[in-house]
Structure 1
Amino acid sequence: MPEIIPSNHNPPLILVADDDKMTRIGLRQAMEQEGYQVVEANDGEACLAIYARMRPDVVLLDAIMPCRDGFTCCVQIQRMSGGTRTPVLMITGLEDQESVDQAFAAGAVDYITKPIHWAVLRQRVRRLIQQVRLYQQLEQANHELQRLASFDGLTQVANRRRFDEYLQQEWQRMLRDQTSLSLIMCDIDCFKLFNDTYGHQAGDDCLRQVANVIQNAAKRSLDLPARYGGEEFAVILPTTEQEGAIQVAHAIQVGVRELAIAHTSSKVKSIVTVSLGIATAIPSPITSPELLITAADKALYQAKDEGRDRYSTCVS
């Protein structure tokens, strides 16, 4: 069975498309008795226009109509639906195998013949609505699972898995567009000493606060802040040259200082600070994302060697 588009209507919205007025009246009454909302179309053109505007939960579609028949309409509805499908129940006076096959080939998920058996129709529409609701619940659950699989539970920024996926994705996009891609690697200075002094609960709170600063600094929807591992974070900056990456790194550095989280055992200052490495590259067929990571890591270690609480740059 085709994928079904999730519903946004409560109660469910049924589109009835039939050129026969008495049939439409009968269908409307039957559906309203079930508690559904109903909109009507008297031909194929009106059906498609209403579908495009209202995106009903289920379409009851007469096979034979003027302007466009139900089969043609059904095909067009599925194209308009995109990757997901609105369930279409075809209503037809044609009982031959060829017509039934044509209905399913057009994308209908079920059919019923005229004269309409009203109890059967109600039962089939009820089943389709249940499928729509179930699909909606599954979609919500899948989105939540994807979110959980892509984000770090402690800091609520992207996790390493999502970082790797996104870097590869944006590398390929920048390769195609021949545009700069920047990467910032960020490490909390002397974090082991912080944990040893204040405990792991305080360490977790520090990580959350630093992650929040990084999220606020990487403002564009394209930018991806991620927890790279332990106390190390990374920021992927698509379509960003070195100067733009420096601005983000500086904002992170200043933002973390302004948190003023006490760190009396730090070898840098008496507050939590960060060191950052910045790398920028225009991807080419003979380079790879790993080279960008290596360059950012090299810049990070340079910042540490120069005294920490600073950023350093490297062009890959």
Structure 2
Amino acid sequence: MNTDFQHGAMGPRPPDEDAIMVLLVDDQLMIGEALRRILASQPSIGFHYCSDPNTALKVAAEVRPTVILQDLVMPGVNGLDLVRQYRQSPATRDIPVIVLSTKEEAAVKSEAFAVGANDYLVKLPDRLELIARVRYHSRAYLNQLQRDEAYAALRESQRHLMAANLELQRLTKVDGLTGLSNRRYFDEYLAAEWARAAREGSPIAVMMIDVDEFKRYNDHYGHLAGDEVLKTVAEAIQAHCRQSSDLAARFGGEEFVMVLADATPGRTEELGTGLCRSIERLRVPHLASRVAGHVTISVGGALAVPEADTSPIRLVDAADKALYQSKAAGRNRATMMPEGVA
């Protein structure tokens, strides 16, 4: 019967400097538990126990330890024969092996070194000595791996994986159609900037932007053409993000939103008007519009200095009310709420 238990990570491990993994091969559960307790005090040392020597080679190939603690005397298996097998297998041939014996015997020790063991300990070993030898042999092994071409390939693979993970994280924040930030990231960003502005006593502004008569555009030109309009408007909005703290996002449907940290009333008003004029200059045909013969937008903005323990929802609501006023006044214009209304 093979009894496995461990603390630390299981399975193949990238050979990082602090990722030490000990594999103990010993048929005595008491020894396994005693060594586990000794190593459990070291958070950077993982431990895996194999009680069945017949599976030791397979387990070592799977766990990829940085050091193997190998008992010499086990039922039906010679511990020295196992050391020979480790040295013959490509997966384990370079892994340091510390043999464990019940007593100090010069002949046995000499034979152990002859077949490929790296060290020799009498069990149960002293706690400090065991930890020191595990760390010493693991560091030597990891240093060797770092010089190995196969390890270089592994690190390259890990870099690709990290880049893929970063790209995945980025995609979770991006609206798939327009390439702007999505609603979820807008909510997170606004909450963070609101809290920062409250701490610093600085102003923050929100601009709500809506494509005028967009439903009529879709009905007249089709949804694919409507998607192209949203992309075009998004590009124009993004072009107005001129400070590193500016954020443009798709709020939903044909609505967009901008967050302006450290905003001023003058910049907010100028930006709203500039957005409307930049979309007008594109002259994207919209024959179904009751506003103009081309695509236009309406903008509503609000600015406030947040107070502690308040919600940014009030600022979004104020900007939305300003947007409604722009629409009620005939669309294709920007309306700014007076400062402090939010």
Which TM-score bucket, shorter chain as reference?
0.5 to 0.7
Q: CA deviation at 1:135?
A: 2.4
Matched, 1:218 2:241: yes
In structure 2, the partner of 1:112 is 140
Q: Does structure 2 retain, via aligned residues, the 8 Å contact 1:224–1:236?
A: yes
Corresponding position: 1:298 with 2:326: no
1:296–1:172 CA distance, 2 compared to 1 (3 A): same
8 Å CA contact 1:223–1:235 kept in 2: the answer is yes
Matches of 1:112 and 1:300, distance apart in 2: 66
**Counterpart contact for 1:250–1:311, Cα < 8 Å:** yes
Using the TM superposition, give the Cα deviation of residue 125 of structure 1 relative to its aligned residue in structure 2, in angstroms.
3.9
Which AA in structure 2 matches 1:173? R
Distance 1:178 1:109 in 2: 56
Other structure's SS at 1:150 match: coil
Alignment match of 1:266 (pick from 268, 289, 295): 289
Q: 2:307 aligns with which of 258, 262, 284?
A: 284
256, 266, 272: which one pairs with 1:243?
266
Match of 1:252 in 2: 275
Give the letter aligned to residue 319 of structure 2.
A
Residue from 188, 197, 200 that aligns with 2:211: 188
Which blocks of at least 5 consecutive residues in structure 1 are unaligned? 6-92, 114-119
3-state SS, counterpart of residue 218 of structure 1: coil
- The CA deviation string for residues 35-90 of structure 1, in whole angstroms up to 9 with x for no partner, is xxxxxxxxxxxxxxxxxxxxxxxxxxxxxxxxxxxxxxxxxxxxxxxxxxxxxxxx
Q: CA deviation at 1:165?
A: 0.8
Do 1:218 and 1:248's aligned partners in 2 also have CA atoms closer than 8 Å? no
In structure 2, relative to structure 1, the CA distance for the partners of 1:228 and 1:297 (3 Å cut) is: same
Question: How many Å separate the matches in 1 of 2:307 and 2:130?
Answer: 54
Does structure 2 conserve the Cα–Cα contact (< 8 Å) formed by 1:184 and 1:235? yes
User: C-alpha root-mean-square deviation of aligned residues, in Å?
Assistant: 3.1
Q: TM-score, normalised by structure 2?
A: 0.59
Aligned pair count? 223
Structure 1 runs (4+) deviating above 6 angstroms are 1-5, 93-97
Q: Structure 1 residues 250 and 4 mapped into 2: Cα distance closer, same or farther (>3 Å)?
A: farther
Instruction: Quote how far apart the aligned CAs of 1:287 are.
Output: 2.4
Match for residue 230 of structure 1?
A: 253
Query: Once the 2 structures are TM-superposed, how far is the Cα of residue 246 of structure 1 from its aligned partner?
Result: 1.6
Residues 1-316 of structure 1: pairs in structure 2 closer than 5 A: 98=128, 101=131, 110-112=138-140, 121=144, 125-126=148-149, 128-314=151-337, 315=339, 316=342
Deviation (angstroms), 1:133 = 2.0
Give me the whole-angstrom Cα distance separating, in 2, the residues matched to 1:206 and 1:234: 16
Helix, strand or coil for the counterpart of 1:111? helix
Identity of aligned residues (%): 37
Tell me by how many angstroms 1:131 deviates: 4.1
Q: What SS does the aligned partner of 2:306 have?
A: coil
Q: What is the distance in 1 between the residues matched to 2:260 and 2:220?
A: 34
* Bigger Rg over Cα: 2
Structure 2 residue identity aligned to 1:111: R
Whichever residue aligns with residue 140 of structure 2, its letter is: I
Distance 2:323 2:190 in 1: 18
Q: 1:211 to 1:104 in 2, by over 3 A?
A: farther
Matched to 1:296, the amino acid is A
Alignment partners' CA distance in 1, 2:173 and 2:137:
34
* Pair 1:149–1:178, CA change in 2 (3 A): same
CA drift of 1:244 comes to: 1.3
Distance in 1 (CA, whole Å) between partners of 2:241 and 2:175 is 17
Provide the rounded CA distance (Å) in 2 between the counterparts of 1:295 and 1:312. Answer: 11
Q: SS at the partner of 2:157?
A: helix
Cα pair 1:103 1:111 within 8 Å, conserved: no
* Runs of 5+ consecutive residues of structure 2 not aligned to the other structure: 1-8, 17-117, 122-126
Flag the 1:112–1:213 CA change in 2: closer, same or farther, 3 A. same
1:188 alignment partner AA: V
Distance 1:109 1:184, change over 3 A: farther
